[in-house]
Chains A and B, each alone.
Chain A
């Protein structure tokens, strides 16, 4: 239903999106995974008709996205794009009317989406009185209001508490199952793995890999992720990280929440030389964990850096 071909967008001398192409089928949830500044928001802005591409095409059901066809798309921006001094219902009424809804149909849809996002009881409260998670859910409700064929969610869980995050992810999973196509951008690997039928990995404006989770992980071959927890001086840890990067068969090294993660072929065989290198730098290795490859490892393998670098 959505076909994106060779999209290019420049801002001055900087190329934000450079030849991005992908397709999404009806009912499919497609994840655009990449770090901040990779070109995700610029790409979806062009898909939603908010930015004009410098080159390339966006087609929805084989037709360009004209002003009239924008109602086929529901956009949930990364920021809370709601009027804080209006209630959820008032926001939904305004944006619903702009989508040409009205009367009983609009009222019914408002009730329905507020139920979906779990805000029916706070419907008449001003958005400014909501918690961060509730605002995020209200933000999603506006995108769903006019029953779009394609729902674009731009990092909908940024800055959300774990409980609300889980609630949002459950809602999105349910939408994917209802036949609506979903384009989901995130820099959280777990979200992409949990929600998306296929994932496109984007970095520096380029779509560098695409496929199902299994297809992407297969690119790593027999590589695994070995995570070391060490104690010692910070400068020595940094130097040790560099040592690890020079070991044979290592394709990426990154910080992982206070630990150091290494993607390498034959990961277990890496442990001994890594520990020796640590001891040489007077570091104590206090824990080692060997994990099967995931999308984070794929990204590390493809770009040499972590998703959240």
Chain B
């Protein structure tokens, strides 16, 4: 069975790679559109994020952290102290701050005693970039406090008697905290946002085309010829599924590598990026198979794919960054919106694989679920 799956997938791949229109859709169009849109947005795009620092601990250490941060703003990122930590949600909701980092009660004590305290970031779903920047800053704070603690322990080991004082001195000593502000600024690439967005839009057409080929092959008679051989219908379905996923992953990976290596658009941790690419392709493949399974003709599947692709593109944020209100909410319900959010996490917030894993699993779930329904429908209606 697997030999037949491989043969059918390889035949489809060979035909896809020969099809110049697919190469244009898969590679040229996403890269060119991302270049144009990226250039347009880059000229007018300015990072403007205000992050509040709420000190709920009011210890000497937390005060030093807050002072360090408020003095470290610039390049579109501003920090401001919040008088009452209890107002964090309200000031974020009202838009006074794009995000708030809360230094929790007991932070100073935890640092000195070796205990644990959790930095909390309050953000708006509609301001993903600000949230990512705040997360990045909080991660930097935690890392610096840990460094200070290690320094103190090391000093204690060589005979120092007051580790608390050592930590306070470590925190106070310049530079008190390394805020990875420059890094956040540098890694957020407009192209790294629009390239995957546009690539995913075209993936709907490329993958949809592959999924529809089952109906096309039925109409043209090659499917009957395949089934006249000792080949199980399941092998045909699996072969087509493998084909569309491989084509999708190859296309998206090529866009990633071209924009990364050719245009320095850093998408983030390569393993994380690849996982998100695979998950996004699986989700889009599943939706395409579902559409194909429900459509009566190839033309109907084509029309439905176009409608769904454009709706998802608009709702998922393909054409613009930083949607607010209803559009921002809708993004959560689209596979490309979820994938784009994961790409932003990876590039802007330098998230690791673990951070994007929930979205990856969600996308895989969408893909497997929709593909299962679509394949069952195709088995019943096209291969019966």
Q: CB within 8 Å of B: which residues of A?
A: 45, 48-50, 67-71, 73, 75, 77-83, 85-86, 90, 94-95, 97-100, 142
In whole Å, how far is A53's beta carbon from the nearest beta carbon of chain B?
13
Kindly name the residue among B19, B220, B228 whose own CB sees the greatest number of chain A CB atoms within 10 A.
B228
Q: Using Cβ atoms and an 8 Å threshold, which residues of chain B touch A90?
A: 14
Complex formed: what's the CA distance from A228 to B217 in Å? Answer: 47
The digit string for B350-379, where 1 denotes a CB below 8 A from any CB of A, is 000000000000000000000000000000
Query: Is B229 in contact with A81, judged by CB distance below 8 angstroms?
Result: no
Query: Is B230 in contact with A83, judged by CB distance below 8 angstroms?
Result: no
Complex formed: what's the CA distance from A77 to B225 in Å? Answer: 8
Query: Is B19 in contact with A48, judged by CB distance below 8 angstroms?
Result: no
Q: Residue B75 at the A interface, CB < 8 A?
A: no
Query: Is B15 in contact with A85, judged by CB distance below 8 angstroms?
Result: yes
Query: Is B225 in contact with A81, judged by CB distance below 8 angstroms?
Result: yes
Q: Residue B327 at the A interface, CB < 8 A?
A: no
Total cross-chain contacts (CB, 8 A): 59
Query: Is A70 in contact with B229, judged by CB distance below 8 angstroms?
Result: yes
Q: Using Cβ atoms and an 8 Å threshold, which residues of chain B touch A45?
A: 224
Query: How many chain B residues touch the partner (CB < 8 A)?
Result: 19
Contact partner of A75 (CB less than 8 A), chosen from B14, B220, B225, B231, is B225
Query: Is B231 in contact with A77, judged by CB distance below 8 angstroms?
Result: no
Complex formed: what's the CA distance from A289 to B18 in Å? Answer: 57
In whole Å, how far is A46's beta carbon from the nearest beta carbon of chain B?
12
Query: Is A83 in contact with B222, judged by CB distance below 8 angstroms?
Result: yes
Known: A50-B228, A67-B232, A75-B228. A81 touches B220 (CB 8 A): yes
Q: Using Cβ atoms and an 8 Å threshold, which residues of chain A touch B232?
A: 67
Told that A77-B224, A95-B226 touch, could you supply 13 new A-B pairs with CB distance under 8 A?
Answer: A48-B228, A49-B227, A49-B228, A50-B224, A70-B230, A77-B225, A81-B220, A81-B222, A81-B224, A82-B222, A85-B18, A85-B19, A98-B229
Query: Is B221 in contact with A99, judged by CB distance below 8 angstroms?
Result: no
Q: Using Cβ atoms and an 8 Å threshold, which residues of chain A touch B227?
A: 49-50
In whole Å, how far is A70's beta carbon from the nearest beta carbon of chain B?
5
Q: Using Cβ atoms and an 8 Å threshold, which residues of chain B touch A79?
A: 220-221
The digit string for B259-280, where 1 denotes a CB below 8 A from any CB of A, is 0000000000000000000000
Complex formed: what's the CA distance from A75 to B221 in Å? Answer: 11
Complex formed: what's the CA distance from A82 to B220 in Å? Answer: 8
Which B residues, 222 to 261, have Cβ-Cβ distances below 8 Å to chain A? 222, 224-232
Q: Using Cβ atoms and an 8 Å threshold, which residues of chain A touch B18?
A: 85
Q: Residue B324 at the A interface, CB < 8 A?
A: no
Q: Using Cβ atoms and an 8 Å threshold, which residues of chain A touch B229?
A: 70-71, 95, 98-99
Closest residue of chain A to B228, judged by CB?
Answer: A75
Kindly name the residue among B15, B19, B225, B230 whose own CB sees the greatest number of chain A CB atoms within 10 A.
B225
The digit string for B11-38, where 1 denotes a CB below 8 A from any CB of A, is 1001100110000000000000000000
In whole Å, how far is B143's beta carbon from the nearest beta carbon of chain A?
56
